[in-house]
Structure 1
Amino acid sequence: MRLVICPGVHEPKLTDCFLAGLSEVWEDEYPRQNPQIVDRVKVFPAHKYPPFSALDILHFLCSQDLAGENLVFVSFSAGVAGAIGAAWMWQQIGGQVGAFFALDGWGVPLGGTFPIHRISHDSFTHWSSAILGSGGDSFYADPELAHLELWRSPQTAKGWHISHTAAGTETAAPTTAAKFLVHLLKQYGVQSVV
């Protein structure tokens, strides 16, 4: 299982902060029992190519020797638009998509034959984005925080993990964006975020 990070339009340093925040939570929640198990995380160079370009992301994936790999996409802002298209195209050329995470993908329709989860910086973005495809479990920050802060510091973004039961009822549990993401990444078979 490979983790593919698709940033938005911002400084690359923020993506480094995002990965450090996830790694911090990962080590707290799942101390590494075998230090040899480290997934190679692929980070799309959004500072060189447009993050909203599905074709550029697909070309990047094809250049990374990922044939036969099951990919989990974690995307942010404009990167959500490019990543969802790249995920669909990855499947069209025979690849596998294990799951898709959209952080603040407001206005981006989400759908596919793979699990999809939305993570939002506030409740308005969360509920209004659900109209375009809510996917599975989701998260929104409460209190709301700045758009870039969700990417910079997911470990401090407090809010609600929203789940739906088989009976159709909705439940909300307090957590952070990083804990929500780490929990689901582990569930989908990602072994590490470093």
Structure 2
Amino acid sequence: MMIIICPGIHEPEITDSFISKCLSQTTVKTMVFPGQGALALSAPHILQFLGDRLKNQRNSPVVFISFSAGVVGAIVAAWNWQILGGQVKAFIAIDGWGVPLWGNFPIHRLSHDYFTHWSSLLLGSGHNNFYAEPAVDHLSLWRSPQTVQGWWVDSDCQGSPQQMRLTATEFLHVLVKRYESK
């Protein structure tokens, strides 16, 4: 399995911080899409990056983790990767507010507050999502997810959704372990 990081429009050091806080303990190989600025929105550039790096390994499963504007390019790249024969194990959107998320792969949203969580669900999501409570500013979810407390909402359960309190980093660790073992 490979994790593909698709950052938003911000300084690269913030993405480095995210990786060190969230993914340093995993044995899964991680690749960061290097596009800066508006390239974060570019599905063709993300797809070309994947093709260049994975070459003949299209059957190697990938998990996309994307943030903010990077969610726009990453979801389209994930769809196209599948069309080209690639395997998308999961798609994790961190504060991709306003971005429709549908696909025939598991999708998870992390939101910086309850309103963003609730309103984003109208545009598609999976069953396991996270929202910060208390609310934090948008960039905190990417810069310092280990400090962001919130709720894991599991709507797979019958009846009303189940909730569990944890940090954004803990939620991401659970997801990565889940897909790493599948």
TM-score (norm 2): 0.93
How far 1:190 moved relative to its partner? 6.7
Query: 5+ unaligned residues in a row in structure 2: which ranges?
Result: none
Residue 56 of structure 1: CA displacement?
0.8
Task: Assess if the C-alpha contact under 8 Å between 2:28 and 2:180 holds in 1.
Answer: no
Answering whether residue 92 of structure 2 is matched by residue 119 of structure 1, we say no
Is the contact made by 1:2 and 1:190 (CA closer than 8 Å) also made in structure 2?
Answer: no
Paired-residue identity, %:
51
Greater RCO between the two (CA within 8 Å, min separation 6)? 1
Is 1:98 aligned with 2:63?
no
Query: Equivalent of 1:88, from 61, 67, 79?
Result: 79
Specify the alignment match of 2:43 in structure 1: 54
Q: Please tell me whether the aligned partners of residues 164 and 171 of structure 1 are also in contact (alpha carbons under 8 angstroms).
A: yes
1:139 partner amino acid: F
Q: Which amino acid aligns with 1:185?
A: V
- Return the alpha-carbon distance in structure 2 between the equivalents of residues 55 and 171 of structure 1: 38
Taking the aligned partners of 1:165 and 1:101, their CA distance within structure 2 comes to: 17
Structure 2 counterpart of 1:186: 177
Question: RMSD of aligned C-alpha atoms?
Answer: 1.7
Deviation at 1:166, TM superposition (A): 3.9
User: Aligned pairs, how many?
Assistant: 180
Structure 1 stretches of 4+ with a deviation exceeding 6 A read none
User: Paired residue for 1:34?
Assistant: none
Question: For the Cα contact (< 8 Å) 1:73–1:100, is it kept in 2?
Answer: yes
Amino acid at match of 2:11: E
Give the TM-score normalised by the residue count of structure 1: 0.88
